[in-house]
Amino acid sequence: MTITPDGSVVVQRHIKARPETVFSFFTDTERWLSWQGIEGVFDPTPGGAYRMRVVGDATASGRFEEVEPYTRIVFTWGWENEGDPVPPGSSRVEVTFAPEPDGTLLTLTHSGLPEPAREPHQEGWIHYLDRLAVRASGGDPGPDSWMEPKPE
């Protein structure tokens, strides 16, 4: 979990599942929404769009740029909420899936983020990739704690 000198957010997770399984959590709508998001539509083909309500009324959208089965997927990312510093399509997420003897090393690199958005996105990817690691290995991460109302 680092922010590189060029400002990219990099998060890695070892997941106890084969790359084919982990990859499917980025290409199958039901599987994606089992670890991130409330509702969404995904067309995981090069040029295909996605739109996902992540939490509350926060909606992320973008387009898939590259889809290399079981090894790599690249998509643009941004938020539809007015005034957000990361508008739709303004940043890029690359996810690689490297086979390991007991699973997959997933590396997510989110680039093109303005400085004020880097730490919040790092926190978000850590939260959601933790949930993905549980789900892809056959577990149940339970309800997303970020979907619960925040105490005032």
CATH code at position 88: 3.30.530.20
Model pLDDT for residues 106-141, shown as the tens digit of each residue: 999 999 999 999 999 999 999 999 999 999 999 999
State the residue for tokens 């989110």: 110
pLDDT value, residue 82? 86
SS (H, E, C) 93-126: EEEEEEEECCEEEEEEEEECCCHHHHHHHHHHHH
Domain that holds residue 60: 2-138
How many domains is the chain built from? Answer: 1
Query: Do the domain assignments include residue 152?
Result: no
The structure's pTM equals 0.94
For residue 150, pLDDT beyond 80: no
Query: According to the model, what pLDDT value does residue 148 have?
Result: 66
Task: Give how far Cα 120 sits from Cα of 37, 65, 125, 141, Å.
Answer: 16, 24, 9, 21
| pLDDT (tens digit per residue) in 12-23 | 999 999 999 999
| Least trusted range by pLDDT, from 28-37, 41-50, 52-61, 98-107 | 52-61
